[in-house]
Structure 1
Amino acid sequence: MGHDAVSTPNLSFVRAEEPGHGTPYARYARLEELHSLQNPRSKVPAELSFIITTQVMELLFDLLRHEWTQAQHALREDDLSQALAALRRGAHVQDVLVSSWDLLATMTPLEFGAFREVLGEASGFQSSAFLKLEFLLGNKSEHLLRMYEEVPQTHAELADALRAPGLYDDALALLARRGLPAAPEPSEQRYQPSAEVEEAWRRVYTDPSAYGDLAALGEALLDTAERVTRWRQRHYNSVKRAMGDKPGTGGSSGLSWLKRSAEQDVFPELWTVRSAL
Structure 2
Amino acid sequence: MACPHAPQDATPAKPTAAGETIVREEGAQLDFSHDMSYGDYLHLDEVLGAQHPLSPDHNEMLFIVQHQTSELWMKLMLHELTAAVRHLAADQLQPAFKMLARVSKIMEQLVHAWDVLATMTPPEYSAIRPYLAQSSGFQSWQYRCIEFSLGNKNAAMRKPHAHRPDLLQIVDAAWHRPSLYDEALRLLARRGIPVPASHTERDWTLPYTASEGVMQAWLQVYRAPDQHWDLYQLGEELTDLEDAFRLWRFRHVTTVERVIGFKRGTGGTGGVNYLRKMLDVVLFPEIWQLRTEL
Q: Shift in Å at residue 23 of structure 1?
A: 5.8
| Aligned residues of 2:101 and 2:237 also touching (Cα < 8 A) | yes
| Aligned residues of 2:74 and 2:142 also touching (Cα < 8 A) | yes
Give the whole-Å Cα distance in 2 for the aligned partners of 1:194 and 1:112: 44
Q: Percent identity?
A: 39
Give the whole-Å Cα distance in 1 for the aligned partners of 2:170 and 2:59: 33
- Partner of residue 28, structure 2: none
- Partner of residue 108, structure 2: 95
Per-residue CA deviations over 1:143-171 (Å, capped at 9, x if unaligned) read 22122222111111111111001111111
- Partner of residue 196, structure 1: 213
* Structure number with bigger Rg: 2
- Could you tell me which amino acid in structure 1 is paired with residue 74 of structure 2? F
Give the whole-Å Cα distance in 2 for the aligned partners of 1:45 and 1:21: 38
2:132 matches 1:119: yes
| Aligned residues of 1:134 and 1:140 also touching (Cα < 8 A) | yes
Q: Paired residue for 1:250, among 267, 283, 286? A: 267
Q: Shift in Å at residue 20 of structure 1?
A: 6.2
How large is the Cα RMSD of the aligned pairs? 1.5
TM-score, normalization: structure 1? 0.90
2:51 matches 1:38: yes
Q: Paired residue for 2:143, among 127, 130, 149? A: 130
Q: Unpaired segments of 5 or more residues in structure 2? A: 1-31
Instruction: Indicate the structure whose relative CO is greater, using CA pairs within 8 Å and at least 6 residues apart.
Output: 1
- Partner of residue 16, structure 2: none
- Partner of residue 39, structure 2: 26
2:234 matches 1:217: yes
Q: Unpaired segments of 5 or more residues in structure 1? A: 1-18
Give the whole-Å Cα distance in 2 for the aligned partners of 1:268 and 1:69: 21
2:276 matches 1:263: no
Q: Shift in Å at residue 188 of structure 1?
A: 0.6
2:153 matches 1:140: yes
TM-score, normalization: structure 2? 0.85
2:289 matches 1:272: yes
Q: Which runs of 4+ in 1 moved over 6 A?
A: 19-22
86-95 or 131-140, which moves further after superposition?
Answer: 86-95
2:168 matches 1:168: no
- Could you tell me which amino acid in structure 2 is paired with residue 157 of structure 1? I
